Structure 1
Amino acid sequence: MRNRLLTLLGFCFLFILAGCEKEPTPVERLEAYVDLWNKHDFTQMYNQFLTNETKQEFDTANFIDRQDKLIKDLAIDDLEVTYTKPDQETEWDPKEPAAFNIQVKMNTLAGPVSFEKKLVFIHETHDEEENWFANWDPSFIFPELDAKDTVGIATIESKRGEILDRNDQPIAINGKGFEVGIVPGKFDDARKAEFAKSIGVTPEFIDKQLNQSWVKPDYFVPIAKMARTDANLLDSLIAIPGVTYQKTPMREYPYGEALAHLSGYIGKITAEQLEEKKDQGYKESDLIGRQGLERLLEDRLRGQDGIRIFIKKPDVGAEPVVIAEKPATDGETIHVTIDADLQKLIYDSMKGEPGTSAAVDPKTGETLALVSSPSFDPAHFMLGMSGERYKQLSEDPLQPLFNRFAAAYAPGSTMKPITAAVGMEVGTLNPAEGIVINGRTWQKDASWGNYKVSRLHPEAPNPMDLKKALIYSDNIYFAQQALKMGRQPFIDGVHKFGFGETMPFALNLSASQISNDGKISSEGQLADSSFGQGQMLTNILHLASMYEAFLTDGVIYKPTLYAEEEKGQVWKKDVLSADHASVMRSNLRSVVVDGFAQAANLPDIPLAGKTGTAELKATGEGRGQENGFFVTYNSENPTLLLAMMIEHVEDNDGSGYVAAMAAEVFKAYHAKLQ
């Protein structure tokens, strides 16, 4: 009996305590509501804190689902809702609304958003429980948002940066191209196959485009895009009845083939690139640098698209209300040291022959031209090339897709001035001392076995000094000089010119080498190396740069490609003395005046330089391939130093063929400067 009484008293006590619990104040309800808001807990906010009127007007889809979706779609984070605390003495009348000033801040994918609002709590009874509940409408998401409005996201497109040459000439720019198409009602269907073949599509593709549901007889139906460099083809196409075109924004490569291997091109991003750059905001539809400078400079050229978050009103003609906007950031405009007009002069002078050229300013190290011939139109790759056309290019025996200025070649006799410089610096070569050389071939002694050094001009007069040896390009003279100085002094000497190391250059070029292992294993190999044969290789830019030393009294500058780079940075110094450099300048002028490069002996432009022919061993019977070289400059005004190589000159007058091409460049360049 006593236990039952105690239990009854306990229940009565708990009932009294429950009855004495104080109802939360509006401030306490606001505090709990704001806490849920900051946590994005819209379900609890809806179920426990909204007035009856609010719930009648806005269901869970309009309150919970909509806000959850906007949080995700707009990448909203760092949401911070605060409120202005009322005075502690404030008395709350259940018959009157309780109003509070709130502040809302958040970050979105378009930038920060902040606003202030007045939030009102009403005292109501819900499920027989009295409490304070919040009035809500969509303006608490964004102040200008109404129930029937929609929130949109727009991309603000950025512009890709442009590549300009040293004279502001366009190398890769945002220009115009053509969209060629058909007006069905005027089209001569009998010429469909002709038209399709000309633009690299199939007749079936044209039919598919013309049979789209929206097409009408007088509508323009786009079929393909064409670059401005295809203007001549476009003229022939629009002669077909019903074929016309519209201009369209497009990346332009105004110098086309002449600069293709250097400029590269953009194209649709590949699956591999998309995976590699998935964290950098690339999309499947994006264009990206695929080759050359376009690829190398992608991070700088690529713009950053902007984003705009806006409210779209349902009223016809209503202007959208911008909530937040991150402006687009265009890519950089990048100037290179290249002279695009000079580059085109050089490319045209090579007449489509397979070869490469490099031009530098010998007083600064700036790269003025880097040419690979033959080449291709980069716009065709940008627009998407047909498999048939790509097959033609890739199987072309002249290899237009092969970038020759990035490769290394045996330099042949253009190496002889370097050998001479090394010999003079070592002290074993006296340029005035003559050597008697007889016959077409020579070997040191019987230990050489069948190996002999051959020369092209056995008629050269004795005694043979350095000047005559350069004029007659005498292999035997330079072989003897190399043996006289010895293997290691020769290796050390050519190392001073940069052999055996990668050039400090923006592009990845094959390093020049003395041999495959960097050593010279025999006297025969030393002899071959002295005149640029054996396993000796050099890239064309390094070859041009090495000749700077003869014009700068022993300095080779770091080759630069970007205008922003400091000019005249010393890469190699004390390569040879001023006296020896003077000797070389005099002799290189004599090579052109008295030697076998008479095509370069111009009356108004005193060229100096050295020819060279590198023989590649035949793989079968018959004569091997010969590559012809010429390195040259204006001896009175050496602002342009040009190195040129043409493959397969064995049937084209050897290196004299190359000298004639180089002379054409200097004549045109000289005329341009007048």
Structure 2
Amino acid sequence: MRKLRYGILFLGLILTLAACSKEEDTPVDRLSAYVDLWNDAKFTEMYDDYITESSKDVFGKEQFIERAEKLYADLGISSIEVIFDKPEEEKTYKKEEDVEFPVQIKLETIAGEIDFKKNVPLTYKEQGETKNWFIEWDPSFILPDLSMHDKVRISTIQSKRGEIYDRHNKALAINGSGVEIGIVPEKFNTETDAEKLATLLGTTANFINEQLNQSWVQPDLFVPIKKLSFTQEDIYNEALQIAGVTSMKAEMREYPYAESLAHLIGYIGQINAEELEKLNDKGYKESDLVGKRGLEQLLEERLRGEDGIKIYIEKTEQNAEKIMIAETPAIDGENITLTIDAEFQKAVFAEMNGEPGTAAIVDPKTGETLVLASSPAFDPNELSLGISSTRYAELTDDPAEPLLNRFAATYAPGSSIKPITAAIGLSTGTLKPDEGHTIEGKKWRKDGSWGNFQVTRVYTAPNPVDLKKALVYSDNIYFAKEALEMGSEQFVEGLQQFGFGEEIPFKYGLRTSQISNDGKITSEGQLADTSFGQGQMLMNILHLASTYGAIVNEGQMTKPVLFADEKKSEVWKEELLSAEHAAILQEDLRAVVSDGFAEAANISSPKISGKTGTTELKSSLEEAGKENGFFVAYPTDDPTYIIAMMIEGVENKGGSGYVAEKVANVMKTR
């Protein structure tokens, strides 16, 4: 028993000596451990074990833990780096004296890096059963200059959407302005005028009443109802005739050329749920605007800017002074310049006068696209602001299909393809321009193997019919005979050399021109039909204009371009014609206008060369008998541009001659 008692006393003595021999923490040790917890954002352990009771009494867990955690989350802090450079020399610190060490604090936030220095004061205290060095803490440990009652604010710096300009720096899509129609409640009679205003603005009386009954509304305040563009002047003027209705200037996307460039430029609008889901990983929000059609949609990534963010402290005790602590500047979207000539496009669109059709104009030397029009169209200013379902139904139900982009589509080119057929024949050597065919009557078939199939011509040319006469009189029978001489293999190969069946190298999606549905010609009847642009042949209007470039460029087709920064004069197709054969076709195309059935284009200035074309639609009983008219032309003496125009429904307007007159009217103004 005595031995046991001595053993216990001996063990206690050893423990006491061990405790006495253990070195106490220095303030450097304590701050190092605190910094390790800080780098791991372990705020609760920092608070419980390292903060002075006096700091806890003043600030409490709400300021230290809850506020820090919330700010770190709100500011999107992705990394914390607190750097404490320990003193190189060992030093004995007196417990009765407070000490202070500098630390460097780096926080990566949604607005960039916050980097600041902080002197950390430590004092030796007995807290509870513990004696040690503790940190005198305040909110400036979280963010620089932050005090207990200050507010931390985050604000967005709005970026500007890139703008679109034409070749002459004329605005096509800009961050412009319009007006916002609103109501001053004390002057407005909801019972008599709400329905009237709603009808005018394409909304409902219920919506107007909802806006007027919002909690913030006061009798003399402006209550916004709807934005209007500069093109909606009639609605604006009528709305202001209603008592209590007024307006304010409002920022909005502006499309100065309205309908004339609508299909090419497109418009922006409020992002919908489907678009938001698709673009979710690119930082879009429910309140964002996004490209809906045309280049606004195609160039969304280039046009869209990146909003900036700033983080600042709003001081509560210093006249609400704002201290900026982090800022990422906004990056505006890219401004884009097109090769389009807006005034030229406006003139073409006006000449089309709302009739269904399309037109393209290219510079055959550089490939620059000067005009790309689709008629009729819509007002992008109206759609950008949001339209009612009733108004949208009017557009979708319109038989002229103003929402259809015709320049991106393909159509049977009819006789406008005949110069290309001739070019292929001349190049293969099967077509002899001075040798003619004797053709009798308006119908022809090769032999009995064709059954009931026969080729029909509209006009009778004097025999013998050579190339020039065939073009001037647009003789289908002549071109059918020449196609048979070539054979389907050479003809198909020739069309492929002109770009049929391949993607058009253009930075705006255009449907590929086709020889036939499967790219082949499998019968003599199909070969005959295809030679004069019928059968299953379909062609894009820009491609059609580009093919005539081979005639004025001595056999070379230039790659069409749309953007000013693209390389110009790049060869798309070459050696399609010899210089000699190109000269023959140039002479013949002038004769088509001066001596043939494109006489409406035979004006004194400028002299015009070109080829008409008419296609009869046979795809359905409803369309049977309807005709599309074409005219492809260029200034004879200075072929700096080629225009191709197609108008639908010309059967009672003079056929393709009607289109030739429109083209001539446009060329007069150039």
Q: One fold, TM greater than 0.5?
A: yes
Question: Quick one: structure 1 residues 434 and 139, their matched pair in 2 at CA, closer, same or farther if it must change by over 3 Å?
Answer: same
Residue 411 of structure 2 is matched in structure 1 by: 409
Counterpart-to-counterpart distance in 1, 2:366 and 2:592: 25
SS at 2:178 equivalent: strand
Counterpart amino acid of residue 280 in structure 1: K
Matches within 5 A, 1:572-591: 572-591=573-592
Residue 24 of structure 1 is matched in structure 2 by: 25
Does the 8 Å contact 2:617/2:623 carry over to 1? no
Question: Quick one: structure 1 residues 86 and 216, their matched pair in 2 at CA, closer, same or farther if it must change by over 3 Å?
Answer: closer
SS at 2:118 equivalent: strand
Counterpart amino acid of residue 559 in structure 2: K
Residue 226 of structure 1 is matched in structure 2 by: 228
Counterpart-to-counterpart distance in 2, 1:597 and 1:60: 89
Residue 655 of structure 1 is matched in structure 2 by: 656
Counterpart amino acid of residue 355 in structure 2: E
Residue 397 of structure 2 is matched in structure 1 by: 395
In the alignment, structure 1 residue 51 sits paired with structure 2 residue 52:
yes
Unaligned runs of 5+ in 2: none
Q: Which moved more, 1:161-170 or 1:236-245?
A: 236-245
| Alpha-carbon shift at residue 441 of structure 1 (Å) | 0.4
Counterpart amino acid of residue 165 in structure 1: D
Residue 175 of structure 1 is matched in structure 2 by: 176
Residue 201 of structure 1 is matched in structure 2 by: 203
Counterpart amino acid of residue 649 in structure 1: V
In the alignment, structure 1 residue 256 sits paired with structure 2 residue 225:
no
Residue 12 of structure 1 is matched in structure 2 by: 13
Does the 8 Å contact 2:188/2:244 carry over to 1? yes
Counterpart-to-counterpart distance in 1, 2:211 and 2:665: 49
| Alpha-carbon shift at residue 250 of structure 1 (Å) | 0.5
In the alignment, structure 1 residue 630 sits paired with structure 2 residue 626:
no
Identity %: 54
| Alpha-carbon shift at residue 294 of structure 1 (Å) | 0.3
**One of 313, 316, 340 as aligned partner of 2:315:** 313
| Alpha-carbon shift at residue 3 of structure 1 (Å) | 5.8
SS at 2:23 equivalent: coil
Question: Quick one: structure 1 residues 16 and 621, their matched pair in 2 at CA, closer, same or farther if it must change by over 3 Å?
Answer: closer
| Alpha-carbon shift at residue 260 of structure 1 (Å) | 0.7
Residue 351 of structure 2 is matched in structure 1 by: 349
Counterpart-to-counterpart distance in 2, 1:66 and 1:219: 38
Does the 8 Å contact 1:618/1:624 carry over to 2? no
| Alpha-carbon shift at residue 621 of structure 1 (Å) | 8.4
Residue 143 of structure 1 is matched in structure 2 by: 144
| Alpha-carbon shift at residue 287 of structure 1 (Å) | 0.4
Does the 8 Å contact 2:303/2:333 carry over to 1? yes
Counterpart amino acid of residue 602 in structure 1: I
| Alpha-carbon shift at residue 22 of structure 1 (Å) | 1.4
| Alpha-carbon shift at residue 240 of structure 1 (Å) | 2.9
Residue 470 of structure 2 is matched in structure 1 by: 469
Does the 8 Å contact 1:172/1:252 carry over to 2? yes
Question: Quick one: structure 1 residues 548 and 26, their matched pair in 2 at CA, closer, same or farther if it must change by over 3 Å?
Answer: same
| Alpha-carbon shift at residue 236 of structure 1 (Å) | 2.5
Counterpart-to-counterpart distance in 2, 1:267 and 1:44: 50
SS at 1:59 equivalent: helix
Counterpart-to-counterpart distance in 2, 1:276 and 1:6: 78
Counterpart amino acid of residue 418 in structure 1: I
Does the 8 Å contact 2:339/2:563 carry over to 1? yes
Matches within 5 A, 1:105-184: 105-184=106-185
Counterpart-to-counterpart distance in 1, 2:232 and 2:664: 31
Counterpart-to-counterpart distance in 1, 2:276 and 2:137: 44
| Alpha-carbon shift at residue 56 of structure 1 (Å) | 1.1
Residue 33 of structure 1 is matched in structure 2 by: 34
Matches within 5 A, 1:179-328: 179-187=180-188, 190-315=192-317, 317-328=319-330
Residue 370 of structure 2 is matched in structure 1 by: 368
Deviation sequence 1:553-607 (CA, Å, 0-9, x none): 1111111111110111111111111111111111111111111111111111101
SS at 1:152 equivalent: strand
Question: Quick one: structure 1 residues 30 and 187, their matched pair in 2 at CA, closer, same or farther if it must change by over 3 Å?
Answer: closer
Question: Quick one: structure 1 residues 142 and 605, their matched pair in 2 at CA, closer, same or farther if it must change by over 3 Å?
Answer: same
Counterpart-to-counterpart distance in 2, 1:270 and 1:495: 42
Deviation sequence 1:511-547 (CA, Å, 0-9, x none): 0000001110100000000000000001101001101
Counterpart-to-counterpart distance in 1, 2:326 and 2:624: 73
Counterpart amino acid of residue 545 in structure 1: S
Counterpart-to-counterpart distance in 2, 1:457 and 1:565: 45
Question: Quick one: structure 1 residues 330 and 245, their matched pair in 2 at CA, closer, same or farther if it must change by over 3 Å?
Answer: same
In the alignment, structure 1 residue 483 sits paired with structure 2 residue 484:
yes
Counterpart-to-counterpart distance in 1, 2:97 and 2:259: 81
Residue 562 of structure 2 is matched in structure 1 by: 561
| Alpha-carbon shift at residue 193 of structure 1 (Å) | 3.0
Counterpart-to-counterpart distance in 1, 2:189 and 2:667: 50
| Alpha-carbon shift at residue 217 of structure 1 (Å) | 4.1
Does the 8 Å contact 1:188/1:240 carry over to 2? no
SS at 2:203 equivalent: coil
Counterpart amino acid of residue 77 in structure 2: I
Residue 668 of structure 2 is matched in structure 1 by: 667
**One of 358, 363, 379 as aligned partner of 2:381:** 379
Counterpart-to-counterpart distance in 1, 2:47 and 2:295: 57
| Alpha-carbon shift at residue 491 of structure 1 (Å) | 0.5
Deviation sequence 1:92-111 (CA, Å, 0-9, x none): 11011121121111211111
Deviation sequence 1:284-338 (CA, Å, 0-9, x none): 1100111110011000100100000000111474221101111111001000111
Does the 8 Å contact 2:617/2:624 carry over to 1? no
Does the 8 Å contact 1:618/1:625 carry over to 2? no
Question: Quick one: structure 1 residues 316 and 219, their matched pair in 2 at CA, closer, same or farther if it must change by over 3 Å?
Answer: farther
Counterpart amino acid of residue 347 in structure 1: F
| Alpha-carbon shift at residue 243 of structure 1 (Å) | 2.3
Matches within 5 A, 1:515-664: 515-617=516-618, 619-620=620-621, 623-664=624-665
Question: Quick one: structure 1 residues 186 and 132, their matched pair in 2 at CA, closer, same or farther if it must change by over 3 Å?
Answer: closer
Deviation sequence 1:331-388 (CA, Å, 0-9, x none): 0100011111111111110011101111111111011111111110112221111111
SS at 1:583 equivalent: helix
Q: Which moved more, 1:26-35 or 1:71-80?
A: 71-80
Counterpart amino acid of residue 657 in structure 2: G
Question: Quick one: structure 1 residues 299 and 30, their matched pair in 2 at CA, closer, same or farther if it must change by over 3 Å?
Answer: same
| Alpha-carbon shift at residue 4 of structure 1 (Å) | 6.2
Deviation sequence 1:23-45 (CA, Å, 0-9, x none): 11111111101111111111111
| Alpha-carbon shift at residue 242 of structure 1 (Å) | 2.8
| Alpha-carbon shift at residue 177 of structure 1 (Å) | 0.9
Does the 8 Å contact 2:357/2:647 carry over to 1? yes
| Alpha-carbon shift at residue 87 of structure 1 (Å) | 4.0
CA RMSD of aligned residues (A): 1.5
Does the 8 Å contact 1:155/1:307 carry over to 2? yes
Q: Which moved more, 1:12-21 or 1:585-594?
A: 12-21
Deviation sequence 1:182-222 (CA, Å, 0-9, x none): 23344465344332211101222223333334444443222
Does the 8 Å contact 1:121/1:133 carry over to 2? yes
| Alpha-carbon shift at residue 618 of structure 1 (Å) | 5.8
Question: Quick one: structure 1 residues 88 and 192, their matched pair in 2 at CA, closer, same or farther if it must change by over 3 Å?
Answer: closer
Question: Quick one: structure 1 residues 356 and 446, their matched pair in 2 at CA, closer, same or farther if it must change by over 3 Å?
Answer: same
Counterpart amino acid of residue 306 in structure 1: G
Counterpart-to-counterpart distance in 2, 1:239 and 1:408: 47
SS at 1:596 equivalent: coil
| Alpha-carbon shift at residue 232 of structure 1 (Å) | 2.7
SS at 2:464 equivalent: coil
Counterpart-to-counterpart distance in 2, 1:65 and 1:278: 30
Counterpart amino acid of residue 428 in structure 2: V
Counterpart amino acid of residue 299 in structure 2: L
Does the 8 Å contact 1:469/1:477 carry over to 2? yes
SS at 1:240 equivalent: coil
Counterpart-to-counterpart distance in 2, 1:378 and 1:647: 23
SS at 1:58 equivalent: helix
